Chain A
């Protein structure tokens, strides 16, 4: 099972309903977006006038570089198959690829806010959310599209899909050949792979040739050099040990002066 999304450019009118619905649903700060819509053109593409949109979001890659770069300590986490209820326990860092539905998720309570994942994403799909601050990360936490996992697990559609005024966004299981999304892949819907990359993006675009050419011609990113990012992430991880123990001490008893810290832990226990 691999959840993914098709964006049908023949239907998309670039209206931004998706980006704003997401902001409302997940309280995304005004100046950030878990998804975006960029107007491309009008420009000449192979002798023809073309104009389309780049509605983008986390690609929930098959090989997500963000997961690989997360420097947080591995911890055991139990995952549940939303369809069968089957569970599996794995050791993961603060961000992982869900073993059942293939979405990429973040445990905010463990995120160090080092920004390595955001920097390494060639699509710039992650940002550091300054509203999410605790004693472990003073600048905020990594944040991004979850493919509306809480909504989807409860049997609903992602907020952007529900509001899309032309049904240009189609959500489903790419591995299910009977799904609408799989049919689009058969028709030729493609993900935007970075230059020289094979990340296996699971957000795919479909449209007439000139529009797809314009999208891929202007929006194909390059892979990011992980060297400096990895060094910085390692330093952040080293520093986090001390902060983390302070946080645990806080929980044990000195909570009085550290109410906000306690609050954020309380939230983490909801998981």
Chain B
């Protein structure tokens, strides 16, 4: 009788934590033996649970779950969805591997060792919550509410974030999605068209699409990729501006192999050409834009020749791109991008994209930037209060904004500097909720120092991360498959289809296991412990969802009846709203001491012997969050470093060679990865996927897999207008067999 190791292990442990073994192997209650059907049953005839909303990334695809014996065995797209339909991506499909990941946080834990080198002791929720409340209250009593810093992320952290921001009253809240990702984009478009752009480009109905550094395909959000591919299938021309031949570049008509950091110069030359040759949309600009003359004058020096030199690309190619855009205007999708915190000159680049869209007349028209008209739902949370700006780190002594175009919250670097210097005031309490500031924010050592000097650090997460190693109290949160939280709304992604709106809410597909709790439970308990019981807006997260749905005349019961998604007729999304205005020249920006017309600010070139470190995404991971997922790890276990083939040849590097990296400040990667030799990247840059190389040994799959690119981001670059981090300003060499290799020029 041969039992293999898996079965032995399963019999020995026979616990929920061992759930990573095939589900068809059910332990017989009488014998304890494991049956192993040779043909797995598949999910087709299993019980269906509706109302799931994915959170393997933040696009929020709508799910159904297939359940057998109370366990979730497969996730699929909700067939009723007009967003992702029956499709979900690799991460979405791998959601059950997160749900049943044996490494997941299960119980409240107290660190009885050092921060950063934790020794965990299991404690009760009562003890954990009492300690969090009293320690955080202690910080507030001693240092004021501004003594607390909050690093939240995602829909699950909105409620606790609002508690600390609105009720407790700290300004020191810094979301990675704003200060290390898309905040620059949002505020640049705010300063140009008065709205955050999202990724609202009508690609399916476009005649041309331009992606600048955006690699759709490697960056996967299901309905967004659907709309991109539909556009290409409909014959839209694709221009991809990227130092690397990305998945998107592989489908392009024109690949602009631009020198990193020079994108704004490229855009200015195109816009100057459109203006000078009157190929811009004169009617649109006359009707909707302000400051055209200042704008035209401000960019007048940007000839193709000047940009070609700056961007290290052919003159003819810039003209080709400009002509494609002009010929296909206004049905052109100028993509606003996502994760655009690159060089510390990003606000001006994002402004340029917004202005280029205007010159092409591509707002609210077929194929252009079209936000769609969503249904209204409620936004129940903690009541808003004005806490003044006395302790707002973004205001200087003269009560002027340091970074006037900051996204909501406080720039991360201002919080870190205050914490480290104690000036203008100490920051001694820290709440990290679903964010991993060790691997999202440049300056890892600085972040560690910030956490070291805290009196108290509390972390809430689903999985251990490199950040949870720094907690004093670590609380296990219910995952997106086990809890209620947000209400999600939207429209059909292809505006040529029947206009529809949808409303859906995240509902649990299974009960939370072990002692995992949701965000409202945890926040309310802490609020009570800190003396804010009176202000608690909802008793449970379910109640919050009900209240938010009620605004739209819906309820959880009704949604359940409608297979998790409520559909209703939508509205024609095309046509410019009357109050729309484009500020090509923005006086407020100029008054704040920055260029009011989009302006190119050069970045430091790589020093001799170094290449610029670029990073991006792979379709199977959401940065670091999914690294421990066994299925996704198997799909892409490490992040090979892309290096130009001629450069590799000179260095004697072959495809698959193992290398480490060292940056220009002398920081070495603590792990290694392999080399990908390709002509598809410039010689002055290397590239790798972001978020690998976790250092937390509790991540049995992810630990030390690949290289942590954030650990190599030690040069702090700050975008002056927004205070967001530039994350592509670091320079590296490769290390092979202990030898540091100089990158040839």
What is A's interface to B at a CB cutoff of 8 Å? 10-11, 13-17, 19-21, 23-27, 29-31, 37, 41-44, 49-52, 108-109, 130-135, 138, 140-141, 148, 150-151, 154, 156, 159, 162-167, 211, 257-261, 263-264, 266-268, 270-271
Contacts and interface: CB of A to CB of B under 8 A. Distances in A.
Given A132-B36, A163-B76, A15 B217 contact: yes
Interface string B232-244: 1100000000000
Nearest to B245: A42
Contact of A41 (B84, B90, B678): B678
B651 interface: no
Contacts of A50: 250
Contact of A132 (B31, B38, B86): B38
A17 B89 contact: yes
B94 interface: yes
Interface in B20-69: 20-25, 28, 31, 33-40, 42-45
A42 B620 contact: no
18 contacts: A13-B220, A16-B619, A17-B92, A21-B74, A41-B680, A42-B678, A43-B680, A44-B679, A49-B679, A51-B250, A51-B680, A133-B3, A135-B1, A138-B2, A141-B38, A154-B44, A165-B87, A267-B36
Q: Give 6 nearest A-B pairs by CB, closest first.
A: A42-B680, A13-B217, A108-B38, A16-B90, A20-B93, A51-B250
Contact of A25 (B42, B94, B226): B42
Given A16-B619, A42-B245, 17 more contacts: A13-B220, A14-B619, A17-B93, A20-B94, A24-B73, A24-B94, A27-B23, A41-B250, A42-B250, A44-B679, A130-B4, A133-B2, A134-B38, A162-B76, A165-B220, A259-B31, A267-B39
A11 B24 CA distance: 34
Interface stretch (B460-468, B522-530, B627-635): B627-635
Nearest to A162: B86
Nearest to A31: B634
A135 B619 CA distance: 41
Interface in B278-292: none
B5 to A, nearest CB: 9
A263 B38 CA distance: 9
Contacts of B77: 162-163
B222 interface: yes
Contacts of B630: 30
B6 interface: yes
Contacts of B271: none
Given A31-B634, A261-B1, A15 B619 contact: yes
Contacts, number: 186
Nearest to B23: A27
A260 B35 contact: yes
A196 B482 CA distance: 54
B674 to A, nearest CB: 13
B680 A260 contact: no
B229 interface: yes
Contacts of B222: 165
B229 A166 contact: yes
Interface in B218-261: 218, 220, 222, 225-226, 229, 232-233, 245, 247, 249-251, 255
A26 B35 contact: no
B96 interface: yes
Interface string B395-413: 0000000000000000000
B365 interface: no
Contacts of B45: 154
Contacts of A23: 93-94, 631
A263 B3 CA distance: 13
Given A13-B225, A24-B73, A130-B4, A151 B42 contact: yes
B40 A24 contact: no
Contact of B620 (A15, A132, A165, A261): A15
A24 B74 contact: yes
Contacts of A138: 2
Interface in B510-567: none
Contacts of B37: 263-264, 267, 270
A112 B222 CA distance: 42
Contact of B1 (A41, A49, A154, A257): A257
A13 B619 contact: yes
Contacts of B255: 49
A42 B679 contact: yes
Contacts of A268: 38
A11 B631 CA distance: 24
B216 interface: yes
A263 B93 contact: no
Contacts of B631: 20, 23, 30
B88 interface: yes
B227 to A, nearest CB: 10
Given A15-B620, A165-B225, A258-B1, A49 B33 contact: no
B75 interface: yes
B220 A131 contact: no
B504 to A, nearest CB: 19
Contacts of A51: 245, 247, 249-250, 680
A98 B556 CA distance: 47
A271 B37 CA distance: 12
Contacts of B229: 11, 13, 166-167
Contact of B217 (A14, A162, A261): A14
A49 B21 CA distance: 43
Contacts of B233: 10-11
B43 A24 contact: yes
Most buried by B among A41, A150, A164, A263: A263
Contact of B33 (A19, A141, A259): A259
Contacts of A17: 87-90, 92-93
A133 B220 CA distance: 38
A24 B96 contact: yes
Most buried by B among A19, A138, A166, A257: A166
A14 B90 CA distance: 10
Contacts of A11: 229, 233
Contacts of A148: 42
B39 to A, nearest CB: 6
A43 B635 CA distance: 22
Contacts of A150: 42, 44
A138 B1 CA distance: 9
Contacts of A19: 90, 635
A43 B86 CA distance: 34
Most buried by B among A10, A14, A108: A14
B658 to A, nearest CB: 19
